[in-house]
Structure 1
Amino acid sequence: MKRSHGILIATGLIVALGGGIALGRLTTPAATTSAAAPAARKPLYYRNPMGLPDTSPVPKQDEMGMDYIPVYAEDEANAAPGTVALSPEKIQTLGVRTEPVRRQPLATGLQASGTIAVDETRQHVIAPRFDGWVETLQANQTGMAVKRGQTLATVYSPQLLAAQEDYRVADAALRQLRGGDAASLQSMQRLRDAAKRRLLNWGISAGQLEHIAHLPPGNLALTAPASGVIVEKPVVQGARFVAGDTLLRLADLSTVWVTVNVPAAQIGQVRLGQPARFTTPALAGQTFDGQVGFLQPVLDAATRTLAVRVALPNPDGRLRPGLFGTVALAGDDGREGLTIPRSALIDSGQRQIALVEVATGRFAPRQISIGQRNGDRIEVLDGLREGERVVVEGNFLIDAESNLRAALQDMTPEQAAAHAGHDMGSHDMPAASKAESDPHAGHAMPAAAAPKPAAADPHTGHVMPAAPRPDPHAGHAMPDQPKADPHAGHDMSDMEH
């Protein structure tokens, strides 16, 4: 009895001790749980590592065995609209290359194409002011080079002959009257002066007048007024001409012109006296310096360009009229500005975009304002800072993905959540069937279609007879023979015919 009583007491103590421990655990929190551990970041979704627009709510791999990249809430919050994140593998696949925005001197100026032409102020026409004939023609071919004072042609004119004779007679009479009657001397002086003015007006020089007595009667030598080349020869030897006809045309090529057409947007970069340099493939490696000599006062209405004329010295005649080349108009050096390579600019026609590397593997589109184009670089007026890196190769592929990214960010939260829940890469489809997906994919179909129950019978519950209603003729024995003969039973044997 005492043994049983001791066992009961021990059991009670054990139960009490266990209850106290349990109560202590419920009322006193453990030290390990009192300080809550920092919660781990939970991804919003997982994106394709190759930049494809499919996402997954759970970790997975693509067909190449590459893990999908987690996207966290803070990444989405800090990302600019259209920001694209690329894995190192994707960057290498696309061939993405970046360069920093640099500040450098800007060589202002422009280039335009033009053609060498004759200096219009250095052309000369040989056109006698009297009628006559071409006696001899020394300058007898186009392109012939002549020197100043060289005889080009000799002409004969009856009008010239008469004027020469009048001058000779008046000059001889004036010599004889020296020391004689003053009135006669003045009259003869007036006659000689009139004949002299007529000859001078016809193009005879003062030097020729001094030797007029030794000139052939009626003949006159036409000389070159300047050095140059014959550019036009419309007459031949022996031809008759009238006053004002062009016998020869020559051009002085010691200075030539080249006219270029400058777009209206660049007119502000051109001024009179601006240094210019001409180059041509025909004279490779040679440059010819000149300056702007004339700006056309009006623009060409059809091309919206301004004609700019550059004068080029040509002492050795290497620049020939008709030669095509390029004119570079120098600008004011020394101004510096931010520049990016031409390949970094994405120009849609309405705005200019550059893709900026905002972090390692993260690229964001940035709208910029551009200035002048300087060789293979473009001036940036606004939108970029010095040292920022811009994409110079692969930017068009990233821009296409950035546009998709921006479109996704413009979705409503419900649309974005629905898009994030689409597991675009989880469809394990064979290669042959991926091009055309099953429209019923993902639809839960029953294992076997249950037959549709038949419509209820309106006679259900009615007691129906086991057999149909009996036939009223049932039981009647129908004869197997045809209808009985009405004469059957009559004894026909007693009848004798």
Structure 2
Amino acid sequence: MRATSLLAAVVAVTLAGSAGYFWGKQQVPVAEKVAAPAERKILYYRNPMGLPDTSPVPKVDGMGMDYVPVYADEATTPGTVVLSPDKVQKLGVVTEAVALRPLASSLRSTAVIEVDERRQQLIAPRFEGWVRQLHVNATGQAVRRGQPLLEVYSPELESALREYQLAQESGLADLAASTRQRLRNWEISDDDLAHLAHGMANRVLRSPIDGVVLEKRALNGARFAAGEVLYRIADLSSVWVQAEVAEQDQGSLRVGQSAKVSLDAYPGEVFSGRVGFISPVLNAQTRTVQVRVELPNPHGRLRPAMYAKVELATGQAAPVLGIPLSAVLDSGVRQLALVQVAEGRFEPRAVRLGRRDGEFVEVLDGLAEGEQVVTKANFLLDAESGLRAALGNATLAPASASESGERDVEHRSTSPTKPASSGSEHAEHQHAQ
């Protein structure tokens, strides 16, 4: 019995060893094929409440909450804002999708009504003299074509008139012709000449057009020099509406396009006109181009210097990729938008803009359809993240993940093995997490 038991034990041990060898031999290649999980590299630890404070080693805040690790594969581009859900709610952040939308097919601008320069006339005698009597003696008075304005006396005119009469009586044809030409240069017509021949050189100056006296300098008994302006008269049956259009919108302008003009003085009324002129020079101070709309004014209700609003029909209504105007951050050098790349993560993106209306602006480059941009509280995020310090690094195309991580590590100047020099340095390099 003992021999039998001993033999059985030896056989069992031998079989177990063989099995162990067998299974071990089979398991070795299997174990070699299973790769150990890669360890994620921790760059630093951030404040769990989103405060601008980091640590190179694990720590807790004043409330006993553990700092959150930030891994290398989570590295953000310069200027990226990382906020907790509570902070996003407190800031009132609102986003809207980049989408194809039709821009309004018109441009709106403020304007001022002005006198049509082509419909003005100056009363400025070409000879010197004195004012004997005023027939129109008030600024703003309406006058008709041919209506007497004033009566003047000129010794110089009287001398030329006597010379002309004597030359005619003496048969001096050449002298009479030259004197008559001088009188014509002074705008003395044949009717005036016939009238002056029977009396003193008192000449009546008349209005050359129908209009309104905008300026009167003539005074009874006053002396005037040759070329001095005594009246300025304007025909206000047609006026100019001078509008200022932003530089980026001038590509939609063309001469002849229709325009609608509205004024606060006449609520609900719309006056129709057309663009008659587009200035070839841009205003360097306001960065606008002047557009002139010609507007009929048969009843004189449109008065020079009145403010107006102009709507110019552009005729471009095709849908374009656009974002709300409130989503644009203008640094003065370029325009940017804050893009929500993940929950609580916002990235500055340089954009190239095109046409705009009162609410939206066309995006030519920098954003894709469907991306979410911040439309409300973006300036708060700007201040929260120190975004202006990173504007120079923002590009039209986002950097690759590896490049982004390298810049982020360099920018923060922190690592798991190298503590930051001070809290202020962390605050300078951490972008409002």
Q: TM-score range by the shorter chain?
A: 0.5 to 0.7
Where does residue 385 of structure 2 map in the other structure? Answer: 400
After superposition, the C-alpha distances for 1:434-476 in whole angstroms (9 at most, x for unaligned) are 99xxxxxxxxxxxxxxxxxxxxxxxxxxxxxxxxxxxxxxxxx
Where does residue 54 of structure 1 map in the other structure? Answer: 54
SS of the residue corresponding to residue 253 of structure 1 reads: coil
**Distance between the aligned counterparts of 2:360 and 2:206, measured in 1?**
57
Where does residue 150 of structure 2 map in the other structure? Answer: 153
Where does residue 178 of structure 1 map in the other structure? Answer: none
Task: For 1:204-243, list aligned pairs within 5 A.
Answer: 221-239=204-222
Per-residue deviation at 1:416? 4.0
Match of residue 369, structure 1, among 352, 360, 368: 352
C-alpha change, 1:92 and 1:13, in structure 2 (3 Å) is farther
C-alpha change, 1:315 and 1:368, in structure 2 (3 Å) is same
Where does residue 440 of structure 1 map in the other structure? Answer: none
Partners of 2:56 and 2:417 within 8 A in 1: no
SS of the residue corresponding to residue 232 of structure 2 reads: strand
Point out which structure has higher relative CO (alpha carbons under 8 A, 6+ apart).
Answer: 2
Partners of 2:56 and 2:415 within 8 A in 1: no
**Distance between the aligned counterparts of 1:300 and 1:84, measured in 2?**
38
Where does residue 458 of structure 1 map in the other structure? Answer: none
**Distance between the aligned counterparts of 1:225 and 1:246, measured in 2?**
14
Per-residue deviation at 1:139? 0.6
TM-score (norm 1): 0.57
**Distance between the aligned counterparts of 2:54 and 2:160, measured in 1?**
106
Aligned AA for 1:117?
E
Aligned AA for 2:49?
M
Q: Is 1:388 matched with 2:371?
A: yes
Aligned AA for 1:418?
T
C-alpha change, 1:56 and 1:133, in structure 2 (3 Å) is closer
Q: Is 1:314 matched with 2:297?
A: yes
**Distance between the aligned counterparts of 1:240 and 1:57, measured in 2?**
95
Per-residue deviation at 1:107? 4.3
C-alpha change, 1:411 and 1:375, in structure 2 (3 Å) is same
**Distance between the aligned counterparts of 1:390 and 1:131, measured in 2?**
72
TM-score (norm 2): 0.64
SS of the residue corresponding to residue 385 of structure 1 reads: coil
C-alpha change, 1:364 and 1:251, in structure 2 (3 Å) is closer
SS of the residue corresponding to residue 417 of structure 2 reads: helix
Where does residue 341 of structure 2 map in the other structure? Answer: 358
C-alpha change, 1:95 and 1:112, in structure 2 (3 Å) is closer
C-alpha change, 1:248 and 1:216, in structure 2 (3 Å) is farther
Aligned AA for 1:95?
G
Task: For 1:63-462, list aligned pairs within 5 A.
Answer: 63-64=62-63, 76=73, 81=77, 86-107=83-104, 115-128=112-125, 134-155=131-152, 221-239=204-222, 244-259=227-242, 268-276=251-259, 288-295=271-278, 308-324=291-307, 329-395=312-378, 397=381, 400=385, 409-411=408-410, 416-418=415-417
Flag structure 1 segments of 5+ consecutive residues without an equivalent: 1-5, 171-186, 425-433, 436-497
Per-residue deviation at 1:253? 1.9
Partners of 2:258 and 2:274 within 8 A in 1: yes
SS of the residue corresponding to residue 353 of structure 2 reads: strand
Aligned AA for 2:255?
L
Per-residue deviation at 1:250? 1.6
**Distance between the aligned counterparts of 1:301 and 1:348, measured in 2?**
19
Partners of 2:274 and 2:295 within 8 A in 1: yes
C-alpha change, 1:55 and 1:11, in structure 2 (3 Å) is farther
Aligned AA for 1:223?
R
After superposition, the C-alpha distances for 1:183-207 in whole angstroms (9 at most, x for unaligned) are xxxx9xxxx9999999877657778
Aligned AA for 1:138?
H
C-alpha change, 1:205 and 1:290, in structure 2 (3 Å) is farther
**Distance between the aligned counterparts of 2:287 and 2:337, measured in 1?**
30
Aligned AA for 1:337?
V
Partners of 2:152 and 2:203 within 8 A in 1: yes
Partners of 2:133 and 2:151 within 8 A in 1: yes
Partners of 1:132 and 1:240 within 8 A in 2: yes
**Distance between the aligned counterparts of 1:286 and 1:22, measured in 2?**
105
SS of the residue corresponding to residue 340 of structure 1 reads: strand
**Distance between the aligned counterparts of 2:366 and 2:225, measured in 1?**
73
SS of the residue corresponding to residue 343 of structure 1 reads: helix
Per-residue deviation at 1:381? 0.9
| RMSD of equivalent CA atoms | 5.6
Aligned AA for 1:141?
A
Where does residue 398 of structure 2 map in the other structure? Answer: none
**Distance between the aligned counterparts of 1:319 and 1:362, measured in 2?**
55
Where does residue 474 of structure 1 map in the other structure? Answer: none
Per-residue deviation at 1:384? 1.5
Task: Report % sequence identity.
Answer: 44
Partners of 1:84 and 1:401 within 8 A in 2: no
Per-residue deviation at 1:235? 2.3
After superposition, the C-alpha distances for 1:101-152 in whole angstroms (9 at most, x for unaligned) are 0222334776666544332222223345566654432211122222333332
C-alpha change, 1:351 and 1:371, in structure 2 (3 Å) is same
SS of the residue corresponding to residue 351 of structure 2 reads: strand
**Distance between the aligned counterparts of 1:303 and 1:361, measured in 2?**
38
SS of the residue corresponding to residue 418 of structure 1 reads: coil
Greater fraction strand: 2
SS of the residue corresponding to residue 317 of structure 1 reads: coil
Per-residue deviation at 1:226? 1.8
After superposition, the C-alpha distances for 1:264-315 in whole angstroms (9 at most, x for unaligned) are 7765554433445555666666655444434555567888876554433333
Partners of 1:51 and 1:401 within 8 A in 2: no
Partners of 1:103 and 1:339 within 8 A in 2: yes
After superposition, the C-alpha distances for 1:328-366 in whole angstroms (9 at most, x for unaligned) are 555342243211123333444455443333344444443
Q: How many residues align?
A: 393
Partners of 2:56 and 2:416 within 8 A in 1: no
Pick the structure with greater CA Rg.
1
SS of the residue corresponding to residue 334 of structure 1 reads: coil
